[in-house]
Structure 1
Amino acid sequence: MGAARVSVIASPRRVSVRQPSARAQRRHSAFVRIVLVAGGIVVLWMWWAGIPSTAAATPSVLITSFGELVGMVAAYLVCAQVLLIARIPWFERAVGLDKLVLWHRTLGTTVVLLVVTHIGLMLLGSEVVDRSMPWSELISFLQNYPDMLAAIVGAAAFIAVGLSSARLLRARLSYEVWYWLHLTTYVAIFLTFLHQLSAGSHFIASPANRAVWLLLYLGTASAVLTWRFILPTLDAWRHRMRVESIVRENAGTTSVWFRGPHLDELGVRAGNFLLFRFLSWGHLLTAHPYSVSRVPSEGRLRITVGALGNHSALLRELAPGTLVFVEGPFGHFTADRASRDRILLVAGGAGIGPIRALAEELTARGMMPVLIYRAHSAADLALLGELQSMPGLTVLPVVGRRSELGWDPLSPEGLASMIRDLHNWEAFLCGPEGMMLTVEASLRALQVPKRFIHREELSMS
């Protein structure tokens, strides 16, 4: 079935915005950046105040001093990186989890490069003096500096975690392998921290620097323990759920219904996602993010998931009554982001889950969104009946592969043929990454400002 042309929908009521304005969010985001930069300046001052007056006297001392600076900056950024995804409520409200995760990834690359540079500069500075080979200096470091073996193991762990997040390697790793590999980051932080205090000249010679560094790491550890472990565990037990039923929507899509106490108090909004940990074989050791397709109501909640990996494929094998712990909600892919009257929803694959929930909330607010539902075949249109029966929602199924259709219905020409005056619309996109990139590029080509294009981001990696 090809795409059809539709006229512009009559303007519905404007959404009332309850979350901070875009300007307020930019202000909060800038404040977080300022705090991070200010911390970096403090680290630079600690290094500058602690370098010897003869630092530039010889190349070896100069290289070693810069190596120590690089190491201190790397150690500081590790704490910043961990704090960004420590689920601290103020950070998430001020910046948004999607942006925090992006910053976390960027800092991760920076940290790996700094760790490698630190090791290289320290070896080079020592080689200039001893005129020996790198492996000889490495053995000398192990013999003469305390906690050096622990530091090397920690540095190797940082590098391994960094490599696992590289796009090429990440695509080949299962979520479970990536998840457990990233947990070694906490071990790496502990191992390298011991080395910093026992072998770092700026901490051995300065009790004040040592105290500041201890407070930095203790504060980071306390934040992680509080907001990533203690409070989520207590909250998960309060809102513990059980699988009520499994519904196979089509060959590749499954809906899971849950029932549990106090679900209405979770604060889940349409477009949010939760981290689910199922107490069942094959699921217990990892928590996976899934968006809700029906928000909590009368003690029930639903997710609709595509079989995109081992974990999601195994959801069909869950037994009713399986205990489930959830953490969240997360994400800013909500109706509160809408600031225009005309709303376009675009969904594909498993992206129909959050889009379905979002459509329900928008129509409940009196709006009349249009949904473009992209699928390879009619059998892939999960939840189509629910969507078509939703008052106020116009559903445009676009079925068929591009090779079969002879054109791309998500190209600028394709979208313009379905909806006129798209530059006056606001769009919410959810589906495969390639599809979202295509739609976003098409909308930009049709003069839709970027601030009016919203994409679902539920990746924690």
Structure 2
Amino acid sequence: MVARTGLYAVLAANMAVVAYFFAQAGFASNALIVMGRLAGLYGALVMAFQLVLVARLPWLDRRIGMDRLTAWHRWTGFSLLWLLLAHVVFIAFGYAEGTGVGPVSQIIDLAETTEGVLRAIVAFGIILVVGAVSARYARRRLAYETWHFIHLYTYVAVVLAFTHQVAVGTSFASSSVATAYWYGVWGVALGSVFLGRLALPLWRNWRHQLRVTAVVHESDNVVSIHMTGKDLDRMPARAGQFFLWRFLTPDRWWQANPFSLSAAPDGRTLRLTAKAAGAGSAALRHVKVGTRVFAEGPYGAFTALHRTRPESVLIAGGVGVTPIRALLEEIEGHAVVIYRVATDRDAVLYDELRDLALVRGHEVHLVTGPAVPDKLAPAELLRMVPDIGDRDVFLCGPPPMMNAVLGSLRELDVPKPQIHFERFSLAG
């Protein structure tokens, strides 16, 4: 809550600063141009804020969670799209007013005669494409790898937009203080990306040097990868977190996929367990022992650090059991595990859950059967865990199941601070 409030406060303060420098620079006589310039400045600020959200900074990730940062990135992304659209439309009509040419012709003329405008048009086109593939309809139909690759072009748009602002931004050059402010904003944003997305992952992988030690086929379509490396006792990973994994083979080195740890880190080994749901996860079955691994992370706030109660409920659906399995190994106090699958054959890692529960004094409920009727409805949850309102609830599974369970928890009046979940989707 503190981190989230802090982020909003920083954004609001910067919006006020941008408005001040904009007013200090003076207003154009044309109201459309005034609105267009202000929309462009706020678009630049939101774009910088976007970079901080997806920089994967450990401080923010541990307190907020990568899924929530990604959700904010998504909505601020659409805000950015509308701000840039307003910037283009208002500027085009504003400059066209009184010239006798249309707005499209005016944009073409500006691109030909004004430094930085053509770069801005290219940047806007890239943002439009990224926005289109981020819409829910398109996102469901694109492979993760394709979507991620298209998202990488956003960095090209950022560079083009920044150089456009430097070249023609009246507010940018209105005073030395304004210039220093904007360089500072972009410096923090780009520096965050450099630190979180490049420097920190490179340093950690150089330090730990992960290698595959075993590939275990848990079922027909689920595989576990065991790894070891150097100084793993100094890796700041917790049960419930995930990494972006790259297996450095000739055909897969370029591809990163998010998978949770399926066992609590013990300072000597790491393990992930994945279901074949796409090309990347299916290829894990063919990884060889000894393969080098490049891991970005750990990420996620789905850990025992956020507990508010001494006792817990861990609810898993399908392969969403992997972070739940890891949490059960680390979590203190009495825990009730509810594992929802279609059939007994789908219950991967169930034997490990049962053995851990036996040793640590927890309960495990295996719930099988079709999706209808809902076997995790409020009455069913209350039957398995009568005191569920007094426990922390950790939830991971397919989105439809998670949405249904969250609805059940609301009906049971489980306080929101006691509900912990992550959807494990990443922005590029």
Partner secondary structure for residue 129 of structure 1: coil
Query: 1:113 and 1:282 mapped to 2: Cα distance?
Result: 39
The one-character-per-residue Cα deviations of 1:183-219 (angstroms, maximum 9, x if unpaired) are 1111111111111121223335544433322232233
Give the count of matched residue pairs.
424
Query: 2:355 and 2:304 mapped to 1: Cα distance?
Result: 20
> How far does residue 126 in structure 1 lie from its aligned partner after superposition?
1.8
Cα pair distance change 1:45/1:344, threshold 3 Å: same
Larger Rg: 1
Confirm or deny: 8 A CA contact 1:240 1:326 kept in the other structure.
no
Q: Which residue identity lines up with residue 31 of structure 1 in the other structure?
A: G
Query: 2:295 and 2:157 mapped to 1: Cα distance?
Result: 27
Confirm or deny: 8 A CA contact 2:95 2:106 kept in the other structure.
yes
Q: Which residue identity lines up with residue 264 of structure 1 in the other structure?
A: D
Confirm or deny: 8 A CA contact 1:306 1:349 kept in the other structure.
no
Confirm or deny: 8 A CA contact 2:172 2:178 kept in the other structure.
yes
Q: Which residue identity lines up with residue 243 of structure 1 in the other structure?
A: V
Question: Which of 356, 379, 383 lines up with 2:349 in the alignment?
Answer: 383
> How far does residue 401 in structure 1 lie from its aligned partner after superposition?
0.8
Does the alignment pair 1:62 with 2:28? Answer: no
Range that drifts further, 98-107 or 349-358: 98-107
Confirm or deny: 8 A CA contact 1:274 1:290 kept in the other structure.
yes
Partner of 2:278: 309
Partner of 1:158: 127
Partner of 1:257: 226
Query: 2:176 and 2:311 mapped to 1: Cα distance?
Result: 61
> How far does residue 265 in structure 1 lie from its aligned partner after superposition?
1.2
> How far does residue 282 in structure 1 lie from its aligned partner after superposition?
4.0
Query: 2:257 and 2:386 mapped to 1: Cα distance?
Result: 39
Cα pair distance change 1:411/1:332, threshold 3 Å: same
Aligned runs of 1:255-334 on 2, under 5 Å?
A: 255-297=224-266, 299-334=268-303
Query: 1:94 and 1:416 mapped to 2: Cα distance?
Result: 30
Aligned identity (percent) is 37
Question: Which of 7, 22, 41 lines up with 2:16 in the alignment?
Answer: 41
Question: Which of 23, 26, 48 lines up with 1:51 in the alignment?
Answer: 26
> How far does residue 33 in structure 1 lie from its aligned partner after superposition?
1.5
Query: 2:75 and 2:83 mapped to 1: Cα distance?
Result: 13
Partner secondary structure for residue 293 of structure 2: strand
Range that drifts further, 351-360 or 303-312: 303-312
Partner of 1:128: 97
Partner of 2:407: 441
> How far does residue 155 in structure 1 lie from its aligned partner after superposition?
0.9
Confirm or deny: 8 A CA contact 2:243 2:259 kept in the other structure.
yes
> How far does residue 348 in structure 1 lie from its aligned partner after superposition?
1.1
Confirm or deny: 8 A CA contact 1:244 1:259 kept in the other structure.
yes
Cα pair distance change 1:197/1:326, threshold 3 Å: same
> How far does residue 103 in structure 1 lie from its aligned partner after superposition?
2.0
Does the alignment pair 1:426 with 2:392? Answer: yes
Partner of 1:5: none
Aligned runs of 1:307-386 on 2, under 5 Å?
A: 307-362=276-331, 365=332, 367-386=333-352
Structure 2, unmatched stretches of 5+, are none
Partner secondary structure for residue 428 of structure 1: strand
The one-character-per-residue Cα deviations of 1:73-119 (angstroms, maximum 9, x if unpaired) are 10111111101222334333454433322222221111011111110
Query: 1:72 and 1:321 mapped to 2: Cα distance?
Result: 51
Query: 1:139 and 1:447 mapped to 2: Cα distance?
Result: 58
Confirm or deny: 8 A CA contact 2:241 2:260 kept in the other structure.
yes
Partner secondary structure for residue 237 of structure 2: coil
Does the alignment pair 1:73 with 2:48? Answer: no
Partner of 1:417: 383
Could you state the TM-score of these two structures normalised by the residue count of structure 1? 0.87
Confirm or deny: 8 A CA contact 1:179 1:286 kept in the other structure.
no
The one-character-per-residue Cα deviations of 1:309-366 (angstroms, maximum 9, x if unpaired) are 221111111111110011221111112222223321111111111100111112xx3x
Confirm or deny: 8 A CA contact 2:32 2:93 kept in the other structure.
yes
Query: 1:316 and 1:378 mapped to 2: Cα distance?
Result: 22
Does the alignment pair 1:109 with 2:78? Answer: yes
Structure 1, unmatched stretches of 5+, are 1-25
Query: 2:414 and 2:63 mapped to 1: Cα distance?
Result: 26
Cα pair distance change 1:394/1:101, threshold 3 Å: same
Range that drifts further, 76-85 or 207-216: 207-216
Confirm or deny: 8 A CA contact 2:62 2:300 kept in the other structure.
no
The one-character-per-residue Cα deviations of 1:140-176 (angstroms, maximum 9, x if unpaired) are 1112211222111111111211222222211111111
Query: 1:399 and 1:174 mapped to 2: Cα distance?
Result: 30
Partner secondary structure for residue 280 of structure 1: coil
Query: 1:222 and 1:347 mapped to 2: Cα distance?
Result: 37
> How far does residue 242 in structure 1 lie from its aligned partner after superposition?
1.0
Partner of 2:211: 242
Cα pair distance change 1:211/1:168, threshold 3 Å: same
Query: 1:94 and 1:293 mapped to 2: Cα distance?
Result: 21
Confirm or deny: 8 A CA contact 1:51 1:65 kept in the other structure.
no
Does the alignment pair 1:100 with 2:100? Answer: no
Confirm or deny: 8 A CA contact 1:268 1:296 kept in the other structure.
yes
Cα pair distance change 1:439/1:244, threshold 3 Å: same
Cα pair distance change 1:163/1:422, threshold 3 Å: same
Partner secondary structure for residue 160 of structure 1: helix
